[in-house]
Amino acid sequence: MDYIRSKKSLGQHFLKDKNVAEKIVNSLTLNNYSGILEIGPGTGILTEFILNLGFEEVYFIEIDSSAVEILNRKFPDVKNRIIHEDFLNLNLKSLFRDKFAVIGNLPYNLSSQVLFKILDNRDKVIEVVCMIQKEVAERISSPPGNKNYGILSVLLQSYYNIEYLFTVDEHVFIPKPKVKSSVIRLLRNDRKELNCDPILYKRIVKTGFNQRRKILRNSLKSILLNLELNDKILKLRPEQLTVDQFIYLTNIIDERLKSVNPLKASNNAV
């Protein structure tokens, strides 16, 4: 394995087990897309298996200059497709002509930011296979009613079907992390739009879960104001609601707000 000093600021833990690497790459369905983007290839343990898949449109984005040097040396044939940049600053829409998949071992401290960027590009990113902290993976993949179900669960499950694939032990990394990791798969679902105000939807989800032990009538007071809204859904706690129920809740609140004061409704959704 090529040696590279891990940088704490980048949250680097390099996978050293090729069997695990191959299992991660084999978790891609390879269906309905023409390109693959690897995030944070590091020393390229996943990269060689990705290249063996035979996709013509493949890119690798790596922020660490030391890792980029290793990748350029190990994979000279794809040198022009190794991008030395921060993924969070990358323009994904201009990089790929058509739909593509994302794969990678994500830094623990940035996994939520990476997933939110993918969510913003959901029309093109139709599959994601990634390794993240086990606790975050459980949260993202949790169904309604589960104690781990939360903001990230709802927002990602609005557009993706999420499957928890397998757990990865600490000893297969250099340096060894203090927590276990997990591999999850996100597959784009059939929902093109939410059929509700997306800004108000996000605010309702976030506000509801910020006081998750309260029923929605109480946790959403800052949005509901003094509206008389007697729908039985407000007697539930946020973790009990499916994505469709959050959409329904957004629509009934939006409709009520507009009926009382159209200007206030638009301001409330910001």
User: What's the predicted TM-score (pTM) here?
Assistant: 0.89
Distance CA 63, CA 10 (A): 9
* Predicted local confidence at residue 257, as pLDDT: 84
**What value does the mean pLDDT take over residues 88-96?**
90
- Are residue 242 and residue 211 in the same domain, yes or no? yes
Last residue of a domain, one of 140, 155, 188: 188
- Are residue 235 and residue 169 in the same domain, yes or no? no
- Are residue 108 and residue 228 in the same domain, yes or no? no
**What value does the mean pLDDT take over residues 254-262?**
79
Last residue of a domain, one of 151, 166, 188: 188
Last residue of a domain, one of 158, 188, 218: 188
- Are residue 146 and residue 210 in the same domain, yes or no? no
- Are residue 92 and residue 54 in the same domain, yes or no? yes
* Predicted local confidence at residue 10, as pLDDT: 46
Show the tokens assigned to 215.
């029923």
Decide if 1 is inside a domain.
no
pLDDT of 60 strictly over 70: yes
Decide if 76 is inside a domain.
yes
* Predicted local confidence at residue 6, as pLDDT: 52
- Greater model confidence, 265 or 52: 52
Q: According to the 3-state scheme, what is the secondary structure of the chain?
A: CCCCCCCHHHCCCEECCHHHHHHHHCCCCCCCCCEEEEECCCCCCCHHHHHCCCCCEEEEEECCHHHHHHHHHHCHHHHHHEEECCHHHCCHHHHCCCCEEEEEECCHHHHHHHHHHHHHCCCCEEEEEEEEEHHHHHHHHCCCCCCCCCHHHHHHHCCEEEEEEEEECHHHEECCCCCCEEEEEEEECCCCCCCCCHHHHHHHHHHHHHCCCCCHHHHCHHHHCCCCCCCHHHHCCHHHCCHHHHHHHHHHHHHHHHHHCHHHHHHHCC
Domain of 101?
8-188
Residue 153 sits in a domain whose CATH number is 3.40.50.150
Q: pLDDT tens digit string along 178-208? A: 788 999 999 999 999 999 999 999 999 999 9
**What value does the mean pLDDT take over residues 45-65?**
94
* Predicted local confidence at residue 103, as pLDDT: 98
pLDDT of 21 strictly over 60: yes
* Number of domains within the chain: 2
- Are residue 160 and residue 68 in the same domain, yes or no? yes
* Predicted local confidence at residue 11, as pLDDT: 46
- Are residue 155 and residue 224 in the same domain, yes or no? no
Q: pLDDT tens digit string along 115-162? A: 999 999 999 999 999 999 999 999 999 999 999 999 999 999 999 999
Decide if 244 is inside a domain.
yes
Show the tokens assigned to 177.
């992390």
Using DSSP bridges, classify how beta strands 82-84 and 57-62 pair: parallel, antiparallel or unpaired. Answer: parallel
